[in-house]
Amino acid sequence: RALDAYPSLRPLLERRAGTLSGGEQRMLALCRALSARARVVLVDEPVQGMSPAVAARTYALLAALDACVVVAEQRLPPALHGRPAFVYVLRRGAVVFAGETGELGRSASARRP
């Protein structure tokens, strides 16, 4: 199931993880989380270095996991707009917004730099 999510990794199975590109390493890490059937998945900028198509597939994969998924990103990914998710916006170490994704656009404190 894990490699079905990222078929482009299949031909790279014989390579060491350290020789993979950044995007390939992120895909590999997510495959490991899928294989482990993790109950909690913490990902830091999971789509960095990925093409838009692979990034969209990655967020669909994360949304479909039967797990608590914690995503750390600089910006709210387009794939999360309109999805039921709870968002925390931190600025300089302080929480400036906590709420549903739908409320985020209406929050002045979340938009302010």
Instruction: Please state the domain extents for the chain.
Output: 2-75, 81-113
Task: Kindly state the helix (H) or strand (E) to which residue 88 belongs, with its residue range.
Answer: strand 86-91
Q: What SS3 state is found at 47?
A: coil
The tens digit of pLDDT for each residue in 21-36 reads: 988 898 898 888 888 8
Exposed/middle/buried for residue 86 (C-beta within 10 Å: 0-12, 13-18, 19+): exposed
Single-letter residue type at 53: A
Residue that is written with structure tokens 């482009």 in the block: 8
For domain 2-75, the CATH architecture is 3-Layer(aba) Sandwich (3.40)
Here the tokens at position 44 are 């830091």
Residue 109: predicted pLDDT: 61
CA distance 90 to 71: 13
- Return averaged pLDDT per consecutive 10 residues of the chain, 113 residues in all: 84 92 88 86 86 87 84 75 76 86 70 60
pTM (predicted TM-score): 0.71
Residue 61: predicted pLDDT: 86
